């Protein structure tokens, strides 16, 4: 997901989850949402909950290199957008 715009990608997977919720015979959309969630949580999420830098995902597992941005606020934006996906997947 290197350099993928997070603000336009996260809603796509929230939409995939919503499609599954509307018709749960469409299991592939649930699979897409779960896979995206796992990828973001495992490879792109900071301890603060943020998951991107300047609204873009970085390379997998390079958070330590980008940690200088953690406290500037640039990394927090997408944690709010990601919450509905996580809540719906696990509630």
Residue 53 DSSP SS3:
strand
In a domain, 25, yes or no: yes
In a domain, 20, yes or no: yes
**Residue 3 — φ and ψ, nearest 5°?**
70, 15
In a domain, 11, yes or no: yes
Q: Tally the domains of the chain.
A: 1
Cα–Cα distance, 44 to 29 (Å, whole number): 21
In a domain, 1, yes or no: no
Q: What is the pLDDT along the chain (91 residues), one digit of tens a residue?
A: 888 988 889 899 999 999 999 999 999 999 999 999 999 989 988 777 778 877 888 889 887 666 655 554 444 455 555 666 666 776 6
In a domain, 43, yes or no: yes
pTM of the prediction? 0.74
In a domain, 19, yes or no: yes
Cα–Cα distance, 13 to 78 (Å, whole number): 13
**For residue 24, what are the domain limits?**
6-90
């Amino acid at each position: 997901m290197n350099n993928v715009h997070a603000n336009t990608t996260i809603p796509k997977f929230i939409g995939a989850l919503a499609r599954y919720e509307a018709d749960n015979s469409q299991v592939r959309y649930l699979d897409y949402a779960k896979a995206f969630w796992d990828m973001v949580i495992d490879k792109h999420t900071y301890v603060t909950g943020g998951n991107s830098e300047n609204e873009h995902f970085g390379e997998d597992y390079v958070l330590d290199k980008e940690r200088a941005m953690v406290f500037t606020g640039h990394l927090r934006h997408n944690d709010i957008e990601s919450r509905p996906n996580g809540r719906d997947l696990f509630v």
